[in-house]
Amino acid sequence: MTESSQSLSKNALPQGTVTLLFTDIQGSTKLLRKLGTSYGPTLGTHRRLLRTAFAAGSGVEVDTQGDAFFVAFRSADKALRAAVASQRALLSHEWSHGEPVMVRMGIHSGHPTVIDDNYVGIDVHRAARICGAAHGGQILLSQATAGILSTAGDGDLHLRELGVHRLKDLEHPESLFQVEARDLPTDFPPPSTLEPPTNIPSYASSLIGRVAELEDLEEMVGQDAVRLVTVTGPGGTGKTRLAAALALDILDDFPNGAFFVDLSRAQSDAVAAEIADSLGVSIDGSPSTVSALVDHLSAMRILLVVDNFEQAVGAASLVAELLQRCPMLTMIVTSRVPLAIDGEHQYALEPLGLPASSTKAIVERSEAAQLFVERAAAVRKGFAVTADNASAVAEICRLLDGLPLAIELAAARVKLFSPQALLDRLGDRLKLLTGGRSDSPVRHRALRTTIDWSYDLLSPQERAFFRDLAVFSGGAAFEAVERVLGMDDDALDLLTRLIDHSLVRQHEGLAGDVRFWMLATIREYSLELLESSDSRADLRSRHATYFLSFAEEASDERADRKTPAPDLEVEHDNMRSALAWFIKRAEAGSENDALLGLRLASALGRFWYTHGHAVEGSAWLEQTLALNSSAPI
């Protein structure tokens, strides 16, 4: 039994939402070797300093082993402050061996179960793994803790996002935050997670089927000679989903990591910058973005997943150049069309497997029906294939040709329609198209028809809202939706309904912030509606003005800021489209818009410069300045 748990009773451990802090001395074995017999007193001093700080935050010692503490707190804020106080105490103490004892700390909040005077549960493992990922002197937090803190960002404490990391033995990757506080060091190497770094998206729902496809692709990418695999298929086939799953499966083969680059809103000439962004490569001091990328990638074993390349086919030669100049680079590209360059290995992705017959057992096992059932159950609890509905479910999947996106849209309607009613309605529309063939153009039209049908079923208010949402590029936070679309109290309700219909998606950012966005195919559809609507100009102006204030507020450097500065990087696409709008209006003669454009470019100046977008930023600045050159400022 460990020394501290002897005096603890089961009641002493806090229950409910608990914040767990693990600490561990970095290099303790080395320290022991170096200090010999004086290691004991040094360890004792370290314990005394930490215990004092933990007690001040009402921390309860759960376990202490050798150089490691496990302490529980009722309050996340107190845990954070106790960790900061203990790091300060360790740093300022005059150690007899002349250098500070460096302790790594990891904090995570959850609901562990108390059994026999100890905590049990995945949250305990998670907290311990987070501690293991920290360096001596560093405090790392999980997203769960970051999300319940009330003090983050207030003056002396600050959280720095370190991105998503996969921790040993834990299935779901963790967003890690570094605590920064006065007097404490801030520069550390990347967290020592055992798996390579990655920003590949992980999905809340599980991947359905695709076992053979993943096997084929893994074998393909595993060959030394294969450096570029393009997964092709029409919109909504599941290319992105499959590429992401593949990348995570083979992550271990890429010690320098796997990175996801979304090109869905990029032009060909912005592809290099998008890749640099995703890799966190700064282009400062390099003659060009491409040479900065080559410098970074030439000695790295990295996997790049480049999504939606059809948007930027003009950049195929860039891909060829990167592969040629970076011999250890591997790329997986998703695209509706192949890149058509040397060395490309195309993998034409088929939709999900269809049921071979309409009996319940066969339908249940087919991939397409599994997706249908999973999505239907999300809007209608308990939905399952039954002997009664099996043939309707099978028929819907066949009509939709196993196309995942179309299946999702149809399944979302199970809230209102029984599978048979859904089949009748959708079937009428699709019969005109399919005529028994199932090649790609037909598939494409089948999806279009399904989106049409989903759209037609919306109320007039939902339709307008869905159309107007296309004004955002790269998604939007709720506040932006509310302010730009001006729906006041109805906005959340409308968003929720569109999410239910699978037309809008919801995504939680690293700091617990929620963003709303649309899959590329769906946004293209709503954008078409927006472009031909009367409200377009008004809406674009409201969007641009909103993001102008957003940028000006974010670039305001007054010291009395109460809330953390908003994240401009996630809004970069919205900023670009706001700039493009101001410029368009200015070119049509609006002096006011010329000025607003210049104000926006100026507000973004520092962000562009510090976030590796200097080249793009100066182009915008030049353009907006030129439009103002005749007007007095």
Q: Under the rule (CB under 6 A), what is the footprint of ligand ATP?
A: 205, 207-210, 233, 235-241, 308, 334, 336, 371, 404-405, 408, 519-521
Query: Residues with Cβ < 8 Å from 207, sequence gap 6 or more?
Result: 241, 242, 245
Count residues binding Mg ion (CB under 5 A).
Answer: 1
CB of 364 to ligand ATP, least distance (A): 16
Nearer to Mg ion, 260 or 607 (CB): 260
Nearer to ligand ATP, 76 or 243 (CB): 243
CB of 440 to ligand ATP, least distance (A): 12
Report phi then psi at 560, rounded to 5: -90, 20
Q: Following DSSP, what letter does each residue of 357-421 receive, concatenated?
A: S-SHHHHHHSHHHHHHHHHHHHHSTT----TTTHHHHHHHHHHTTT-HHHHHHHHGGGGTS-HHH
Nearer to ligand ATP, 375 or 543 (CB): 375
Q: Closest CB to ligand ATP belongs to which residue?
A: 238
Task: Kindly write out the interface string for residues 232-251 of this chain, putting x where it contacts Mg ion by CB under 5 A and - elsewhere.
Answer: --------x-----------
What are the angstrom distances between the C-alpha of 270 and each of 42, 386, 473, 501, 615?
55, 50, 15, 33, 11
CB of 451 to Mg ion, least distance (A): 15
Report phi then psi at 415, rounded to 5: -60, -35
Give the residue from 55, 69, 65, 56 showing the smallest Cα distance to 23.
69
Nearer to ligand ATP, 299 or 348 (CB): 348
Residue 21 in 3-state DSSP? strand
* Residue 175 to residue 599: CA distance in whole angstroms: 34
Q: Does 370 bind Mg ion (CB under 5 A)?
A: no
CB of 503 to ligand ATP, least distance (A): 11
Nearer to ligand ATP, 136 or 404 (CB): 404
* Residue 397: both structure tokens together: 């999947």
CB of 506 to ligand ATP, least distance (A): 12
What are the angstrom distances between the C-alpha of 438 and each of 281, 330, 401, 433?
44, 33, 7, 10
DSSP-assigned letter for residue 563: S
* Residue 131 to residue 74: CA distance in whole angstroms: 19
CB of 304 to ligand ATP, least distance (A): 16
Q: Does 335 bind Mg ion (CB under 5 A)?
A: no
CB of 366 to ligand ATP, least distance (A): 12
Counted residue by residue, the chain has a size of 633
CB of 18 to Mg ion, least distance (A): 40
Nearer to ligand ATP, 184 or 405 (CB): 405
28 binds, options ligand ATP, Mg ion, none, Cβ within 5 to 8 A by partner type: none
235 binds, options Mg ion, ligand ATP, none, Cβ within 5 to 8 A by partner type: ligand ATP
* Residue 520: both structure tokens together: 């590329």
405 binds, options ligand ATP, Mg ion, none, Cβ within 5 to 8 A by partner type: ligand ATP
Nearer to ligand ATP, 348 or 514 (CB): 348
Q: Up-side HSE of residue 514: CA atoms within 13 Å toward CB? A: 10
Nearer to ligand ATP, 87 or 308 (CB): 308
Give the residue from 517, 530, 609, 482 showing the smallest Cα distance to 265.
517
238 binds, options Mg ion, ligand ATP, none, Cβ within 5 to 8 A by partner type: ligand ATP
Question: What residues make contact with Mg ion under the rule CB under 5 A?
Answer: 240
